[in-house]
A = this chain, B = another copy of it.
């Protein structure tokens, strides 16, 4: 990228063009570009440009003759009209491969300057919007100089100079006039639509959509951009103008609702009741438990004003609700008969982190549930900690089709102010990093002592003093957040987009009419569309979440992409041949496997296929995760495996000093390597958990087995890894 950029700089400077250039975050489309430029305030008056590359229909054996269209982003580009006016027809947007082959660029970086990369310019058609060449001297055109994270501002005159320098004929057209004169495709097809649906062709109006629709980054090549594109192009999430905050669109929110439904029912069964505490906390209450608040203080958001008035004292927005709730526990719990007290709330919390935010994984506001309970006996609290952890595991395994490791956090990693922390640890193979998926804390009596939550021991001897009879209650707290969704996307998503496990998909089955051509008659349409609607009704009745895509202005191929990006688990195609055989063609999103399902057994067939998908997704993810946990016995194997995107299971001494040392040694190690791979970041390894399921083969022999890191006596096997 950067060498491509310097090539552009060089070739422009030869023409005495030295454009102002600014850097910004990489942008995937012009909306993002616009936002990025607004952010940095370039200090010039500019208009965004767009560069469209199309491929006119040619014989299969012939070399492609791409059409390059240069225009202002704000100008309507009626592709049919434009291509027609230079004698081309049936233009489609060029594939990424063609872009690469012809211009050595991808869609986000292609620009007018890419023409300099073309080996044989005679094969290329160039059409330029007259508006682009007629800006007045105070206005600049914004271009990407061969890189989507940079913008150069050049004048109309300079652009013309550059184009002229190519020695290639180009055509200047007034795109606005062209577009205005062109027939409106919708108006044309409107009368037809009433009787027979318009033929499914990729109309000019939608060609641009197709091009913008696909995921342009490969998961194993550029995970961050892939992740961003999958989230936004699947309509799962949108970026928001307050940094670190994101919009959860229906596709994402529905997953959260499914998790809520399952988990809320399960804890209700356990006697937990839902409640809602205020989001605001006074400073006095927030600071009551020192260890606890120390962990959160740097990230607390403070409200200091209402309207134009300063508040008498700043009020915090909850980062978590221990100190919000426990003064009321002290009030409500007056006797051992009030125990156990078990409440939960579904809410959002705010942690104003200054690290790089990432949708779902690290956000400043996020949705979660937080359960808070109080018990008379430690044993009861301990049991509940595990029950909740098992439910968290179920959320991952049964709903999100993701494996987790259940275990206990080390002393260093446990919740501030608590007694011990249990966790479900997820794993993202693409980065080789673990991710804390949900935590269930035994808080012990620390908070109950701080907040004076006491009852009289019903079993204390008669002679005991009042003080001796007092029992500080045993408390737990446990939380699961929308982070779950991010892990799911990271693990299951592929180069085509999202892949949703059927149990959390808001659309499980999409039905698409196929096999209709320009030659098809009205009856053919009626038959196929009717069959689609009938099937949808049948499946809905059987409890499936199901949609039909009968849009008449898109081809089946377009629709396939559309629903693949959105992760719909099962696509059902219905065409004339299918109907003849009284069947449908079912295509699995997770594997792409096609199969026929008989129409007279369709409910069972769909149910079985969805169950299989759900099951297979988990099995695949688990196999990959299992293969990524390496058991080692000596330190030499630690860093190489870590850098190989593995998690490490090893005998450990359970000492914080040793853990600090491991982190240190595993982050330093990279410095000595010649090349640092950005996808194997140099961050040190953390302890993830002491798995409840300890190896039974070659188990720890007390006094004999040594810690793989420091050589002292090992206490148990511990899981280590890089972590989100």
Contacts and interface: CB of A to CB of B under 8 A. Distances in A.
A278 B247 contact: yes
A25 interface: no
A398 interface: no
A80 to B, nearest CB: 14
Size bracket of the A interface: 35 or more
- The listed residue with most B CB atoms (<10 A of its CB), out of A176, A302, A327, is A302
Contacts of A300: 306-307
A433 B345 CA distance: 33
Contacts of A365: 278-280
A84 interface: no
Interface in A311-346: 314-315, 317, 327-328, 331, 335-337, 343
Contacts of A315: 242
Interface string A241-261: 110011111100110110000
Given A249-B275, A250-B274, A277-B247, A466 B180 contact: yes
Contacts of A302: 303-306
A305 B298 contact: no
A57 B277 CA distance: 44
Contacts of A553: 337
Interface string A545-571: 000000101000000000000000000
B462 A188 contact: yes
A184 interface: yes
Interface in A168-218: 176, 179-180, 183-184, 186-188, 190, 205
- The listed residue with most B CB atoms (<10 A of its CB), out of A176, A238, A276, A350, is A276
Nearest to A551: B337
A711 B305 CA distance: 47
Nearest to A299: B307
B328 A279 contact: no
B297 A274 contact: no
Nearest to A78: B466
Nearest to A553: B337
A459 B186 CA distance: 8
Given A187-B462, A278-B245, A348-B279, A250 B343 contact: yes
Contacts of A301: 303, 305-306
A6 interface: no
Interface string A362-405: 00110100000000000000000000000000000000000000
Given A247-B277, A275-B247, A276-B247, A184 B367 contact: no
A190 B276 contact: no
A347 B346 CA distance: 10
A352 interface: yes
Nearest to A347: B348
A76 interface: yes
A465 interface: yes
Contacts of A314: 305
A238 B331 contact: yes
A456 interface: yes
A179 B467 CA distance: 11
A281 interface: yes
- The listed residue with most B CB atoms (<10 A of its CB), out of A76, A176, A184, A352, is A184
A327 B238 CA distance: 12
A423 B162 CA distance: 62
Contacts of A335: 205
Given A253-B274, A299-B306, A307-B299, A462 B184 contact: yes
A190 to B, nearest CB: 7
A699 interface: no
A184 B253 contact: no
Interface string A278-293: 1111101100000000
A656 interface: no
A348 B76 CA distance: 41
A466 B179 contact: yes
A184 B455 CA distance: 13
A483 to B, nearest CB: 14
Contacts of A464: 184
A678 B190 CA distance: 66
Given A190-B458, A256-B276, 8 more contacts: A184-B462, A188-B462, A247-B276, A298-B308, A300-B307, A302-B306, A303-B303, A306-B354
27 contacts: A31-B331, A76-B466, A180-B465, A183-B462, A184-B456, A184-B462, A184-B464, A184-B469, A188-B462, A240-B278, A241-B284, A246-B278, A247-B328, A248-B276, A250-B343, A253-B273, A254-B273, A276-B348, A276-B367, A279-B348, A280-B364, A298-B307, A302-B305, A302-B306, A303-B317, A306-B354, A337-B553
4 A-B pairs with least C-beta separation: A250-B273, A306-B352, A245-B278, A298-B307
